[in-house]
């Protein structure tokens, strides 16, 4: 049942990511008509893909011979969709992953599955988008605050 649920959520989240990517050319065309330059930070989008991979892979906390799951990977992948707006969503992802780790240590469980490490990597990649915005029109070394805090931003004039 958990596999079917995570697969369904993965399809929904991939659809949202796909629609987000489809709107970017239209925003770029509109920006050019207004004399603006579109800047897209692609690291948060890569983090979303990693979170969806973590959702598909999943993880289970085992304690003795009993396996427990709280479907926390659904919350991590859902929080990662906020990264399509701002890389600050990586903080929420990181908080959710650390909460899952602390809960597992509280009940004395161990993790099985690769999803947790993928979720942690996803949060790190999204937060890396704050430090080094990489992508279409981005200037990694001299990026403005707006370019760092927003995944998609517009600026006046050419790049």
Q: Domain ranges in the chain?
A: 2-156
**pLDDT tens figures, 99-150:** 888 888 887 877 777 888 899 999 999 999 999 998 888 887 788 888 899 9
pLDDT surpassing 90 at residue 43: yes
Closest to 155 in 3D by CA, of 147, 26, 84, 140:
147
Give the per-residue pLDDT at 150. 92
pLDDT surpassing 60 at residue 159: no
Q: Work out the pLDDT band at 69, boundaries 50, 70, 90.
A: low
Residue indicated by tokens 């427990």: 68
Q: Work out the pLDDT band at 158, boundaries 50, 70, 90.
A: low
Show the tokens assigned to 16.
Answer: 């949202």
């Amino acid at each position: 049942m958990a596999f079917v649920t995570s697969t369904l959520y993965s399809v929904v989240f991939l659809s949202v990511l796909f629609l987000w990517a489809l709107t970017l050319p239209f925003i770029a065309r509109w920006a050019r008509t207004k004399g603006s330059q579109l800047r897209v930070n692609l690291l948060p989008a890569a983090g979303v893909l990693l979170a969806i991979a973590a959702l598909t892979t999943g993880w289970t906390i085992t304690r003795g011979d009993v396996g427990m799951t709280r479907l926390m990977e659904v919350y991590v992948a859902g929080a990662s969709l906020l990264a399509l707006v701002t890389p600050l969503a990586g903080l929420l992802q990181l908080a959710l992953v650390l909460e899952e780790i602390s809960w597992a240590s509280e009940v004395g469980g161990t993790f099985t599955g690769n999803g947790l490490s993928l979720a942690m990597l996803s949060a790190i990649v999204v937060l890396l988008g704050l430090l080094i915005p990489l992508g279409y029109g981005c200037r990694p070394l001299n990026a403005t605050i707006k370019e760092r805090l927003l995944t998609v931003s517009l600026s006046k004039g050419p790049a």
